[in-house]
Amino acid sequence: MRLHKTLLASSLLTAALTFSCNDAQQNANATTTETEAAIAAPNSLKAAFEGEFTIGAALNGRQAMGQDADAIPVITQHFNSLTAENIMKWGPIHPEPDKYNFEPADALVALSEQHGMELIGHTLVWHNQTPDWVFENGKGKPASKAQLLQRMEGHIRTVAGRYKGKVHGWDVVNEALNDDGTLRQSKWLTIAGEEFLEKAYRLANEVDPEAELYYNDYNMWKPAKRDGAIRLVRNLQEKGIRVDGIGMQGHWGLENPSIAQIEESIIAFSKLGKVMITELDIDVLPNPSNRNGADIDATFEFDEQYNVYTNGLPDSVQQKLAQRYADIFALFRKHSDKISRVTFWGVSDANSWLNDWPIKGRTSYPLLFDRNYQPKPALEAVLQPVNKQANAQ
């Protein structure tokens, strides 16, 4: 009897073991298949472009602070690079001479570290979102050159110093050029002269020698602006000042600029270093003067005739947007040897600055995720070619 029981027990045990082995094997098989499937047919942007370029998104304060719960799953599934949309800019992070507001940026650093994402610092020196006190002498008159450069030094040492080793790269100077390639007559230039450019990059390099340092601007597909950016960066590099790459913001339309115009700039900028698409979005709404780019001051009064898709984006325009993104990503993949990163300027249509520019209060649809963080046809259009290629292998 006991022998019988023992045999029974051992065969049950073997069965159980075999079963659990089978289970484990099945699970293992399941996981391998899932992993193989994920590799074979990536269902995320970051997996799709693994080894080609990082894929990022600009996060607003609420997303960085974890106050937008629906955003996190999309962010962690699809992106391996984060940029601060506003919270690391001079105004928000350094509102008064002796006052810094680090909490939102610290939260963004923590989020990027928690998920092993590269963090892009945006931006140390810009003519916009920089408080008036920076450019004034406290008596309502313009600051002196020395005063302004001293303030810039203090700001860069404090902000870039705080995030040393945590920021993968900084947009050191943003939008210092006009579309004709000449230097923008900003208060930085009019008060401190071109020296502000040299000083900003030298300081950033001294404070965080490991962080990549970029020059970032919009309308960089325009030949005159492209040449201006090349002149600006080459001048610095020839003086032994480190500039590792050029950021093309990528605030584009459904037709404009052409793929050929974008390609010409990618190739030209790659001669000086890395090329990044830093603020990608595609404006589908009609625009009063058919203007594009991102001059935040170029705004228009609200006019219903320019707010044409308040009840959702017609399928015909969804398809146009999907095709436009597919064409643009085909170009990026063609030049993945030159492009190190592609960042979307926002996560979902609800977060986009294009709901308020160049006309406040519009309903815009420039990104890959809709207002409920659900994928739009454009996401599939971007992933599909990679899936096809992966499955063909």
| Sites of contact with ligand G3I (CB under 6 A) | 85-86, 128-129, 174, 218, 249, 279, 294, 296, 353
- 100 vs 237, beta carbon nearer ligand G3I: 100
Token reading at 61: 């304060």
Phi-psi category of 51—alpha, beta or left, where left has phi over 0 and alpha has psi -120 to 50?
left
Catalytic residue check, 210: no
SS3 38: helix
Least separation, in Å, of the C-beta of 265 and ligand G3I? 16
Token reading at 181: 């390639």
Determine which one of 85, 118, 212, 279 is catalytic. Answer: 279
- 33 vs 299, beta carbon nearer ligand G3I: 299
Residue labelled with tokens 């970032």: 216
Determine which one of 175, 194, 195, 238 is catalytic. Answer: 175
The answer to whether 34 touches 371, Cβ cutoff 8 Å, is no
Token reading at 326: 């597919």
SS3 151: helix
Helix segments in the chain, DSSP class H: 2-40, 45-48, 61-64, 71-78, 90-93, 103-114, 145-162, 187-192, 195-207, 223-238, 259-270, 315-334, 377-392
Helix segments in 176-239, DSSP class H: 187-192, 195-207, 223-238
Catalytic residue check, 50: no
- 129 vs 261, beta carbon nearer ligand G3I: 129
Amino acid at residue number 64? A
- 129 vs 336, beta carbon nearer ligand G3I: 129
Token reading at 69: 């719960």
Residue labelled with tokens 């502000």: 196
Least separation, in Å, of the C-beta of 129 and ligand G3I? 5
Least separation, in Å, of the C-beta of 305 and ligand G3I? 23
Least separation, in Å, of the C-beta of 56 and ligand G3I? 14
- 281 vs 386, beta carbon nearer ligand G3I: 281
Least separation, in Å, of the C-beta of 127 and ligand G3I? 10
Which residues are identified as catalytic?
175, 279
